[in-house]
Amino acid sequence: MNIALPSVPAWNGGARWFRCDLSETDSIDNTRPVNRTGSLRGAMIGDNPLTHRCFDPKLIGDNLNYMAPVLCSEPHRAEFVGVYLERDMTWAEFGRANQEVHRRCMALIANFAAVPNNSDLPYRAGSIFYPPSQREWEEGDRGIRCFLWSDDRKLTRSMRGAGPKGLPAI
| DSSP secondary structure string for all residues of 6-40 | --HHHHHTT----EEE---BS-SS--SB----S--
> What is the average per-residue pLDDT within 41-53?
71
* Nearest-angstrom CA–CA distance, 61 and 65: 9
Best mean pLDDT range from 13-27, 36-50, 90-104, 132-146: 90-104
Q: What pLDDT shows up at residue 30?
A: 65
* Nearest-angstrom CA–CA distance, 146 and 131: 9
Q: How many CB atoms lie within 10 A of CB 44?
A: 11
Q: Nearest Cα to 103, choosing from 79, 84, 131, 77? A: 84
Per-residue pLDDT band at 49 (split at 50, 70, 90): low
Q: Tell me which of 46-55, 59-68, 82-91 is least confident.
A: 46-55
Q: Look at residue 46 and tell me whether its pLDDT is greater than 70.
A: no
Q: What is the mean pLDDT of the chain?
A: 88
* Nearest-angstrom CA–CA distance, 117 and 103: 10
Provide the 3-class DSSP secondary structure of residue 69: strand
Whole-structure pTM value: 0.79
Sequence-ordered list of residues with C-beta below 8 angstroms from that of 74, at least 6 positions apart, any chain: 54, 56, 156
Per-residue pLDDT band at 99 (split at 50, 70, 90): very high
Q: What pLDDT shows up at residue 37?
A: 80
